Chains A and B, each alone.
Chain A
Amino acid sequence: MLATLSQLALREVRLAWRRPADTLGATLFFIVTGSLFPLAVGPDPVLLLAIGPGVLWVCALLGILLSLNRPFAQDYDNGALEQLLVSPHPLPMLVGVKLGAHWFSTCVPLILASPVLALQFGLPPHAIGILVLSLLLGTPTLALVGGLGAALTLGLRGGALLPLLVLPLYVPVLIFGAGAVSATYAGLGAGPQLSLLGAGLCLAILLCPWGASAALRVALD
């Protein structure tokens, strides 16, 4: 089964590599919208420092939201998703690998771009480090929960449905992620927030592939 999972992961990464515009969409969105805020609110460094963590996190979240359809939409159209559903391998593992590969191809460039954008907001180096760490812990949760939402809304009309379903579950991650960075300003450690993000990630890894595969079976019923 390990060979199958690695083949599937390779397939996903290959597909992402061959469609760079799609794959980098989240990162580009992140960079563009993140750059719009200093232009809009003015160059006051104190203000930018204060809103920086929140703005960066929101832009990352929205970028991820835009790319949530990627793991499933194309495969749904060409029939490859059906083949996953009739595979003798456990579907949660296959879905988990798909979502993991999706995170790797979509979110890692975003995380790599975040220090650059953080400098625009004047974040100190320690805060940038915490920002990267919070994104590292938080974006997989967003990808997993978003995958569950994408599986539930597969093929349904209404573009606003997926954000509406997923945002209530995103809000805690957002709060703790941005809160982790803000906490470093006040001199408090970011330990509690990062721990909660980690706990959320563990919960998501445990539950989301399972829930998403149930949702896929419902969607393709």
Chain B
Amino acid sequence: MRPADAPPPMLSARGLVSRRGAPEGSAPLDFDVHAGQLLHVQGANGSGKTSLLRMLAGLLRPLDGAVIGWGGDIRRDPAAHFARTAYLGHGNGLSGDLTALENLRCALHVAGTPHGDDAIAACLQTWRLGGCLHTPAARLSQGQGRRLALAGVVLGAKPLWLLDEPDAGLDAASLDQLGEALAAHLAAGGAAVVASHRGPATPAKHTQTLNMDDYADAGNVVSVGAA
């Protein structure tokens, strides 16, 4: 139970219903994500994880309900919501013909968090991509591409991260690195919503779990609690 004078949640969903899936929609979703918390979204394939993340990012219009950010409904001020949210979808957002450096440079600018080439190179080093700085993205492996995209999210350092299956195609070392990055992000006061089939490897007290399979059954309202 949170004390009454706790700061407002970084992200809330109120009665969120997705247009995708069953024609009646799934059951309405309600949850809060506070600073320093991670919401782990799991569920079978097709249960609506991606739709949920896209609604939280502001890409998908919900059938009903609202997504509440810091300043209120995100539909009222989308630019402010985008400024503090980093979204990583299934695609890495990388153009095959551009090098890793060029991709990241432009992506960070577009995301509103420009960084110099040195900072980008240093970050890629930590993600073991230092040698790929000038490699066209088309020649990176799937795991390398995913790491590149994650490096961009980490470098952007936005308060709220929405990651859709960030661990897809990552090797063990990279998975550890992802866990560390998430832990560091949470420790710094950020929040994250991660859709994944496996646990995010962050400490349990910071993690809530949302199982989308419960919501696929229309009529059941399930509350979200600590894992």
Contacts and interface: CB of A to CB of B under 8 A. Distances in A.
Direct contact, A vs B (beta carbon within 8 Å): yes
Interface of A: 3-4, 7-8, 10-11, 14-15, 18-19, 74-75, 77-80, 82-90, 94, 220-221
Contacts of A86: 57-59, 82, 85, 87, 111
Interface stretch (B32-40, B41-49, B102-110, B192-200): B102-110
A11 B98 contact: yes
Nearest to A83: B93
B114 interface: yes
Given A15-B98, A74-B96, A87-B110, 12 more contacts: A4-B110, A4-B112, A14-B98, A18-B97, A83-B107, A84-B110, A86-B82, A88-B80, A88-B82, A88-B83, A88-B112, A221-B61
Contact of A7 (B82, B92, B94, B105): B105
Interface in B53-94: 57-61, 79-80, 82-83, 85, 87, 89-94
Contacts of A15: 95, 97-98
A89 to B, nearest CB: 7
Contacts of A83: 87, 93, 107, 110-111
A18 B114 CA distance: 24
B221 to A, nearest CB: 26
Contacts, number: 87
Contacts of A18: 97-98
B95 A89 contact: no
Top 4 closest pairs, chain A to chain B, by CB: A79-B91, A88-B83, A88-B112, A79-B93
6 contacts: A8-B106, A8-B109, A78-B91, A86-B58, A87-B110, A221-B60
A35 to B, nearest CB: 30
A10 B94 CA distance: 15
A3 B110 contact: no
A54 B38 CA distance: 63
A78 B105 CA distance: 17
A138 to B, nearest CB: 29
Contacts of B107: 80, 83
Contacts of B57: 86
Contacts of A11: 95, 98, 102, 106
Contacts of A90: 79
B93 A80 contact: yes
Contacts of A220: 59
Contacts of A19: 97
A110 B175 CA distance: 49
A89 B106 CA distance: 13
Contact of A221 (B59, B82, B109): B59
Contacts of B90: 79
Contacts of A89: 79, 110, 112
Nearest to A77: B91
A3 B113 CA distance: 11
A214 to B, nearest CB: 13
Interface in B120-174: none
A75 B59 contact: no
A90 B110 CA distance: 10
B59 A88 contact: no
B171 to A, nearest CB: 21
Contacts of A4: 109-110, 112, 114
Nearest to B92: A79
Given A86-B59, A86-B87, A87-B82, A78 B97 contact: no
Given A8-B110, A87-B82, A80 B89 contact: no
B59 A78 contact: no
